[in-house]
Amino acid sequence: MPELLSTFATALVAFLVIIDPLGLVPIFIALTRNADPEQRQRMALKAVVVAACVLVAFALVGENLLRSIGIGIPAFRIAGGILLLLVALEMVFERRTQRRENTADHLADERMEGQPVADISVFPMAVPLLAGPGAITTVILHMGSRADSWPHQAAVMAALLVTLLVVAISLFLASRLGRFLGPTLISVFSRLLGLLLSALAVQFIIDGIKRAFGI
C-alpha cells in the first residue's frame, strides 16, 4: 500500500505540474471572454472529456505503439526527459505562458471581429493545452515504468483522472479564480511548478541512461 500511494503521489505531482490547472485559468478566460456562463461550462467539460480520452488512449497503448516502431522505454525516457526539461525552462522563464496567451488572444480577437472560430474546447483547450506533448510523454513514461504491475498502473491512471478533475473544477470556477489569484500569483505558481518539473525531467533522463546501459 505505501508503494501504491507513492506511485499515485509521484504521478499526481507530475500531471499537475505539466498540465498546470491554475496556469490555464487566464487562458480559458481569454478564450471564452464573449461566452455566457453556461457556454463556458459546457466548453470546459468538453475540453476535459476530450483531453481525458486522448491521454487515456496513450496510457493504454502508448508503450505498445513505441515498441511497434522500435523505440525502447529507456530511449523514450531520455527523450521525454529532455522534452519535459525544455517545457520546465519555458515555465520558469514564462515563455510557455506567453505562448499560450498569444494563442488565446489571437483566437479571441478573431471571435471579436466576427470571424468564424471553431469551438475552443477541442482546439486549443483539449489539444494541445491539456493533452499536449508534455502530458502525453508524462503519461507514457509513468505507465511504462510500471509495466510489470497493474495495481501501480491503476494508481497512475487514478492520478491522471484526479488531475483532470482538478482541471475541470479550475475551469468551472475560472472567473472567480482569476479575480482571486491575479496574474502575479499565478505567475509565481507557474514558476515554482516549473522548478519541480525540471527536477522530475532530470530524474527521467538519469533513469533512462541507467536502464539503457544497465547501471
Q: Which three cell numbers stand for residue 188?
A: 509565481
Residue 194, H or E segment: helix 174-213
Three-class secondary structure of residue 212 per DSSP: helix
Answer for the pair 129, 100: CB distance below 8 angstroms, yes or no: yes
pLDDT at 97: 57
Q: Kindly give the confidence (pLDDT) of every residue in the chain, 215 residues in length, as a single tens digit, with 9 standing for 90 and above.
A: 789 999 999 999 999 988 989 888 888 887 787 788 888 999 999 999 999 999 999 999 988 888 898 888 788 888 888 988 887 887 777 765 565 556 556 655 555 555 444 478 998 889 878 998 889 999 999 998 887 889 999 999 999 999 999 999 999 998 888 777 777 777 787 788 778 778 878 988 998 899 888 87
pTM of the shown model: 0.78
Using only the alpha carbons of the chain, give its radius of gyration. 18
Cell numbers for 72, please give them.
525502447
Alpha-carbon 163 to chain mean position:
9
How far apart, in whole angstroms, are the C-alpha atoms of residue 91 and residue 88? 5
Question: What ranges do the domains of the chain cover?
Answer: 2-213
